[in-house]
Amino acid sequence: MTALLEVGGLSRNFGGLAAVSDVSFTVPESEILGLIGPNGAGKTTVVNLISGVIRPSAGRIVFAGRDVTSAAPHRLAAMGLVRTFQSTTVFPARTVRENALRGAYLHSWPGFGQALLGTAAAARKRSSAAREVEMLLEEMGLQPVANHVAGGLPYGFQKMLGIVIALAARPRLVMLDEPVAGLSLEEADQIRNVITRMRDRGVSVIVIDHNMRFISGLCDRLVVLHHGRELAQGSPQKVLSMPDVIAAYLGKRNAAPLHP
């Protein structure tokens, strides 16, 4: 299977500290990859490197057949590689619908000149973006609150809105950093169903989370990091039963497997 994303020998040093060292993995089309590990393992740093937020000290990142190791975040997003963050990143004073349009305008913004002149092409692009957003809001269960100010929504709704913004950008690969942190079991199950539908539509997903129930029931494959290095790769059932992985999380090698 052809890889959509290839990460090879990825490393990042901050002064004398090696935050990530020689990490390599691939993500094919339509796969959900879990990037897991204890606190401080380097997971978010890897996502920041892939998304262009920071530059690697060494290694190579290839997306859709193109070397994007030094690409800026907005260039990557335009190519279809987008990400969410640990904390919600909505505009709190704007409505849910207005927030969702942020993502859609990544590919549907008519340009300053056309927008200023109010051309027919500009109107068509805005109309197309609006239709896509309405469908996403309906699918994700946010249509009833579409006109509500985002900052007044419960935390779970804001998490869902962050995913809607990412999906509205028409991603080929989306990276989700702790999408169910702080959510109830019911809310986490809803997010899991949304991510599964994303994969079924052909979108690849990298997800970071500490919720092993969520991860084991969602991901096709796992990559485990520990002290910035790759510790294991494989299916959730295999990886979460490995003594080295259990020891990294629990500090002991003979504990029960991490998956439920």
Higher pLDDT, 64 or 160: 64
User: Which residue did the predictor score with more confidence, 122 or 248?
Assistant: 248
Report the distance separating Cα 254 and Cα 244, nearest Å. 9
**Which of 128, 152, 170 is where one domain is finished?**
170
Interstrand relation of 17-28 and 81-83 (parallel, antiparallel or unpaired)? unpaired
User: Is 70 exposed, middle or buried (CB count within 10 Å of its CB: 0-12, 13-18, 19+)?
Assistant: exposed
For residue 71, the one-letter residue type is A
**pLDDT at residue number 104:** 79
Given 152, 170, 188, the domain boundary residue is: 170
Looking at the fold, whether 66 and 175 belong to one and the same domain comes out as yes
Whether residues 165 and 182 share a domain: the answer is no
Half-sphere exposure of 45 (CA within 13 A, CB side): 24
Q: Is 129 a residue whose pLDDT tops 80? A: no
State mean pLDDT over 78-83.
91
Which of 1, 87, 5, 90 has the alpha carbon at shortest distance from 46?
5
Number of domains in the chain: 2
Q: Are residues 94 and 213 in the same domain?
A: no
pLDDT at 109 over 50: no
Q: Average pLDDT, stretch 180-188?
A: 88
What's the mean pLDDT in 134-151? 90
Q: How far is it, in rounded angstroms, from Cα 83 to Cα 5?
A: 14
- Domain holding 199, by residue range, is 1-80+171-260
pLDDT at residue 115, rounded to an integer: 44
Same domain, yes or no, for 4 and 60? yes
